[in-house]
């Protein structure tokens, strides 16, 4: 049985037509199910956990990347499959190759299921990434080596499922990694320098310096200042941090040309 979670912003009148079209298409495909319309007072994780006691085998999020991430946390370690019908801006839609709005119904119906990894930060799951906007940290990887900033590093991003856009061109090798792999049992760690400003358009261009693959990474503060990490562009956590990969943790419906 399908459970459809509607994002809270979809109550706005301008989405009425889109929602009608999605509901009609789901009925045509024979995959309609129970629907729950979230409000800012209803926590997605609690709603999912309450409903998992019943015969739900698929939860489909209709709405934003934020609700999609929250739902992934709630379904971590279960056998319930997560689907996504993106409405509005969505970085996940492109990585997972899921078209927006009504066309995503066909991807849900197709049930191309992949089992992906999740990240865990200080004991809590995360789906996408953790960003630390400081290099004044000690970084220990897999209990084997440490990474020290030798100058110019401004931020560190630990990625499970997100865009990387890491390119490197050297005389003897070219590397182009568009998105992370969420099925390799590893986290990608990107060290970046301060953005370069182009002239005459004054456009900021990210300068990615290093790319590592780890199973477990530990961050401690160097100095007295508090340093914060942003988790999935939503939660804020204070260092120290222990971040690790949890392999094969979530069943996800993806499009044919997904990048994971």
Partner 1 sequence: MAQEKEHKFKPEDTQTVIGAGVKVEGKFIAVGDVVLKGELSGTLDTESSLFLEEGAFINGDMTAKNSSLAGAIKGNIKVQDRVALTKTAKIKGDLEVSDLSIEAGAIFNGRCAIGRTEDVMPKEKTV
Longest dimension (CA), the chain: 60
CA nearest neighbour of 130 among 139, 138, 120: 120
With contacts defined by CB under 8 A, name the span among 12-20, 96-104, 110-118, 197-205 that binds partner 1.
110-118
Which of positions 206-235 make contact with partner 1 (CB under 8 A)?
208-213
User: What's the token pair of residue 213?
Assistant: 């693959």
Tell me if 191 contacts partner 1 by CB under 8 A: yes
Which of 12, 55, 172, 224: binder of partner 1 (CB under 8 A)? Answer: 172
What are the φ/ψ torsions at residue 7 (nearest 5 degrees)? -65, 150
Contact 232, 69 (CB under 8 A): yes
Coil, strand, or helix at residue 102?
A: helix
Tell me if 168 contacts partner 1 by CB under 8 A: yes
Which of 5, 62, 74, 186: binder of partner 1 (CB under 8 A)? Answer: 186
Q: Exposed/middle/buried for 44, CB within 10 Å: 0-12, 13-18, 19+?
A: buried
Tell me if 195 contacts partner 1 by CB under 8 A: no
Question: Least distance (Å) from partner 1 to the CB of residue 236?
Answer: 25
Residue with Cβ nearer partner 1 (38 or 164): 164
User: Contact positions toward partner 1, by CB under 8 A?
Assistant: 110-115, 144-153, 166, 168, 170, 172-173, 175, 177, 181, 183-186, 191, 193, 208-213, 254
């Amino acid at each position: 049985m399908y459970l459809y979670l509607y994002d809270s912003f979809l109550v706005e009148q301008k989405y009425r037509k889109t929602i009608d079209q999605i509901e009609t298409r789901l009925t045509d495909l024979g995959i309609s199910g129970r629907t729950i319309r979230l409000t800012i007072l209803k926590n997605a994780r609690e709603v999912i956990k309450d409903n998992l006691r019943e015969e739900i085998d698929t939860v489909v999020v209709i709405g934003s990347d934020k609700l999609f991430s929250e739902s992934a946390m709630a379904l971590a370690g279960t056998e319930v499959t997560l689907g996504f019908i993106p409405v509005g801006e969505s970085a996940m839609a492109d990585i997972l190759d899921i078209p927006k709005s009504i066309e995503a119904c066909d991807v849900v119906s197709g049930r191309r299921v992949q089992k992906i990894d999740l990240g865990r930060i200080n004991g809590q799951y995360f789906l996408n990434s953790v960003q630390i906007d400081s290099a004044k940290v000690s970084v220990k990887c897999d209990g084997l080596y440490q990474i020290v900033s030798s100058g110019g590093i401004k931020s560190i991003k630990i990625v499970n499922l997100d865009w990387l856009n890491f390119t490197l061109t050297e005389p003897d090798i070219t590397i182009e990694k568009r998105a992370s792999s969420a099925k390799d049992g590893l986290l990608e760690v990107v060290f970046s320098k301060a953005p370069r400003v182009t002239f005459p358009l004054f456009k900021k261009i990210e300068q990615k310096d290093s790319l590592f693959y780890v199973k477990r990474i530990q961050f401690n503060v160097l100095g007295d200042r508090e340093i914060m990490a942003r988790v999935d562009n939503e939660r804020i956590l204070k260092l120290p941090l222990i971040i690790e990969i949890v392999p094969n943790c979530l069943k996800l419906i993806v499009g044919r040309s997904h990048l994971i």
